[in-house]
Structure 1
Amino acid sequence: MKGVLLVNLGSPESPTPKDVKPYLDEFLMDKYVIDVPYLLRALLVRGIILRKRPEESAHAYAKIWWDEGSPLVVLSERMQKKVQPLVNVPVALAMRYGSMTIEKGLQELHDKGVTEVLLFPLYPQYAMASTLTILVKAEEIRKKKFPEMTFTDVPAFYNKPDYIKNLADSIKKHLVGFDYDHLLFSYHGIPERHIRKTDVTKSHCKIDGSCCNTPSPAHDFCYRHQCYETTKQVIKLLGLPEDKYSLTFQSRLAGDKWLEPYTDVEIDKMPAKGIKKLAVVTPAFVSDCLETLEEIAMRAKEDFEANGGEEFLAIPCLNDDDEWCETVGNWINEWAERK
């Protein structure tokens, strides 16, 4: 019997330091997130970051927390509930970090008699710190707990025509009535070394102005290329001229060289360039979360206005949009109907 496991990032149990701390510990101690030797990672995370970050993050989570709980979890659950009636196989939901574990999700499917699982990381673009860590963790659990199961992975869907159409339609819908000067595509940042580590050719990725536009097998696993490709294809559908949009990367940690240009730096400069009405979309996420609701819709908006900006629109993620849920349902049905 077949079944599907949707997997998103995760969330602390509550917006309090006592719940945020173990969540951050699990997240930041993941070797695919901070990819340095264990002892150095432990020193960095437990000796430095976790001394202050839990209180800061708890304050940020408290600003976006809903009565029903974490927005990311609530929105992911809404999506799952919309997708389930569209397909003929069980659909479970799990998170890579936190209490909604991948093991619990696989157990739910196992209890329903599922032996063939479609692993569906809810990330349009491939990255070590998102897609890869989910696949590795799921395989570890399968070997230990569910050896009779087999997995099929959903590859990065950054350029699938129906996803691109869903994203373009959503942007268009939310821009109605907003006379914007500029549309910013803000993607989650990653360290540049992650790009080189995922380069299957070991030589293609130079992180310069040309490698992402030069065809290569490396692009199947290149986060940077996939971000630019998503943007390019959405812009084509929207019919925007080059001077009407740009692409940046947000959410970096200090110390390493991360993908540039940086979202916060670019937004601060925009009003002086005559961009007074800014719309921001965050296509690295399919569900709104801390990085979209607090970092962009609150902090970036405040910074933009403080620097002379007049109007700011944070475009929601696809979340449980009907068209997006239908697309996910179609992908699941295509897989489920294969012999």
Structure 2
Amino acid sequence: MKGVLMVNLGSPKSTDPKDVKRYLGEFLMDERVIDLPYVLRAILVKGIILNTRPKQSAKAYKKIWWDEGSPLIVLSERLQERVDEYTQIPIALAMRYGEPSIHQGLQELHDKGVDEVLLLPLYPQFAMATTETILVLTEQLRDEHFPEMSLTTVPPFYNHPDYVNVLSASIYEKIRNLNYDHLLFSYHGVPERHIRKSDITKSHCKIDGSCCQIPSKAHQFCYRHQCYETTRLVAQTLDLKEGTYSTSFQSRLGFDPWLKPYTDRTIEKLALEGTKNMAIVTPAFVSDCLETLEEIAMEGEEIFHENGGKNFTFIPCLNDRQDWVKTLSRWIDEWATQEQPNPQTA
């Protein structure tokens, strides 16, 4: 019997600093998030970050928390429920960090008699700290607890025409009646070393401004290339004029070089250079979360206004849009009827 496991990032149970600390501990101790040797990672996370950051993060979560709970969890549940209405096979939802856990999701499917699982990471682009960590943990849990299960993974869909069309439609709905000067595509940031570590050629990724445009097998696992390609395809679909849009990266941590340009500095620069009306979209996520609702929609707007900007438009993630729900449902049905997704078609 076939079933689907949809996996998103995760969230604290509440805005209580203790719950936030527990969540951050699990998240930041992941070797694919902070890729330092265990001892150094433990010193950094447990000795420094977890002694200061939970209270600060708890305040940020309080700004965006809904009556129903964490926006990311609530939106993920809505997406699962809506997709389930369009499909005939069981669908479980899991979070990489926090609950419901991936183990709980696999158990739910197992209890329903599922032995063929379509693993659907809810990330358009591949990254060590998102897609890869989900794949590794899911396979580990499968081998340990559900050895009879087979896994098929939906690969990154950053360039899939269906996804590009839905993302483009969501953007167009927001900007079609706007007199905007600039559209910023802001993606989650990662350390530059993650890009080099993911380079299967061990030589292509130089992060020099041109390697992402030169065809290479490395692009299959290159987060930076996939982000820029998403921007390029959407700009092409919407017929955006050169100079009216750009790409940036947000949420850096620590002192190592992260992908540039940085979103906060880009927003500031745009405002200082005279941009009065800007829109911003966050295509590294399909569900709104702390990083989109607080860091971008709130802090980003504040930076823009402080530096002379006038109108700031935040474009929501795809969340549980009807066209996105139907797209996911179609991909699932194609897999269920043996038309398996591949990097070019799903």
TM-score, reference length from structure 1: 0.99
Counterpart check, 1:70 vs 2:80: no
How far apart, CA to CA, are the structure 2 residues paired with 1:223 and 1:183?
21
Report the alpha carbon displacement of residue 70 of structure 1 after superposing the two structures with TM: 0.2
Aligned residue for 1:277? 277
Q: CA deviation at 1:178?
A: 2.0
* Aligned-pair CA distance for 1:239: 0.5
Matches within 5 A, 1:1-339: 1-338=1-338
Partner of 2:243, secondary structure, is helix
Instruction: Quote the offset at 1:86 in angstroms.
Output: 1.1
Q: CA deviation at 1:205?
A: 0.5
Residues in 2 aligned to 1:183 and 1:102: alpha-carbon distance in whole angstroms = 36
**Cα deviation digits, residues 216-244 of structure 1 (max 9, x gap):** 11101000000000000000011111110
CA shift for structure 1 position 191: 0.3
User: What residue identity is the alignment partner of 2:70?
Assistant: S
Cα separation, 2, equivalents of 1:270 and 1:293: 20
SS state at 2:318 partner: coil
8 Å CA contact 2:274, 2:308 repeated in 1: no
Contact 2:86–2:329 under 8 Å retained in 1: yes
How far does the alpha carbon of each residue in 1:43-94 deviate from its partner, in whole angstroms, 9 at most, with x for none? 0000010111000000000000000000000000000011012112111100
4+ runs deviating over 3 angstroms: none
Cα distance between partner residues in 1 of 2:54 and 2:290: 14
Q: Identify the residue that residue 342 of structure 2 maps to in structure 1.
A: none
What is the number of residues matched between the two proteins? 339
The alpha-carbon deviation at position 335 of structure 1 amounts to: 0.4
Could you tell me how far apart the structure 1 residues matched to 2:325 and 2:114 are?
22
Q: Displacement, 1:176?
A: 3.4
- What SS is found at the alignment partner of 1:294? helix
Distance 2:12 2:101 in 1: 12
What CA distance in whole angstroms lies between the structure 1 residues aligned with 2:163 and 2:207? 26
Q: CA offsets per residue over residues 268-294 of structure 1, 9 Å max, x none? A: 111221211110000000000000000
Mapped to 2, the partners of 1:329 and 1:223 lie a distance apart of 25
2:7 aligned counterpart, secondary structure: strand
Tell me the CA shift for residue 174 of structure 1.
1.5
Opposite residue 47 of structure 1, the aligned amino acid is G
Q: Distance in 2 between matches of 1:175 and 1:74?
A: 26
Q: Residue 343 of structure 2 corresponds to which residue in structure 1? A: none
Deviation per residue, 1:253-282 (Å, 9 max, x gap): 121100000000111111221211110000
CA distance in 2, matches of 1:270, 1:338: 48
Identity %: 65
Question: Root-mean-square deviation (CA), in Å?
Answer: 0.7
Cα distance between partner residues in 2 of 1:145 and 1:198: 28
TM-score by length of 2: 0.97
Displacement of 1:196:
0.5
Structure 1 residue 177, shift from structure 2 partner: 2.6
Q: Any conservation in 1 of the 2:6–2:93 contact (CA below 8 Å)?
A: yes
Cα deviation 1:126-164 (Å, max 9, x = unaligned): 000000000000011101110110100110000000000
How far residue 319 of structure 1 moved from its aligned partner, in angstroms, is 0.2
Between 172-181 and 200-209, the greater mean CA deviation after superposition = 172-181
1:187 partner letter? Y
